[in-house]
Amino acid sequence: MHEMSLCESILQVIEDEARLQSFHKVVEVHLAIGTLAGVEVDALKFSFDVVVQHSLAQDAELCIQMVPATGLCPSCGQQCAVENRYDPCLNCGSFGLQITNGDQMRITHLEVQ
């Protein structure tokens, strides 16, 4: 549901960067989204097309790199893959994994003209 506001934030970042880095048209927008970031990729793409209408990013393609989540186990100190926040440690079975990667929502780069 909040994908619309995420897209509005993406467009703001793009517009700020356009002033700083002097570009007038955005062809591609590249994001790194963690699997635990709570983002629905389809909803994000849909919202993006709506939000960028009549902007310098109109017709830009949204390219999303999904980043798999990992967590640090406070009990055994090992890193492991995490699919859901409530998953136990794959090494020792303890709960309470501290997420070390995979919750980011980041704009990495743009292709511009």
Partner 1 sequence: MCRVCGCSDAAGGSVPAGQPLQPVRTHAAELDTARMVKIEQEILGKNDRYAQHNRSLLAEQGIFCVNLMSGPGAGKTSLLVKTLNDLKAEIKFAVIEGDQETSRDADRIRATGVVAVQLNTGKGCHLDAHMVGHGIESLAPLPNSTLLIENVGNLVCPAGFDLGEQHRVAILSVTEGDDKPLKYPDMFAFADLLLLNKIDLLPYVEFDVEQCVENVRRINPAIVVMQVSATTGSGMEQWYDWLRTHQHAATDERN
Q: Which residues bind partner 1 (CB under 8 A)?
A: 1-2, 4-6, 9-10, 12-13, 17, 21, 23, 27-28, 30-31, 37-38, 41, 45, 61-68, 74, 84-86, 88, 95-96, 104-113
Q: Which is nearer to partner 1, 90 or 107 (CB)?
A: 107
Q: How far is the CB of 111 from partner 1 (least distance, A)?
A: 5
Q: How far is the CB of 33 from partner 1 (least distance, A)?
A: 9
What are the start-end ranges of the H helices in 1-113? 3-21, 41-51
Q: How far is the CB of 1 from partner 1 (least distance, A)?
A: 4
Radius of gyration of the chain (CA): 17
Torsion of CA 24, 26, 27, 33, to 10 degrees: 170
d(CA 41, CA 33): 9
d(CA 83, CA 1): 21
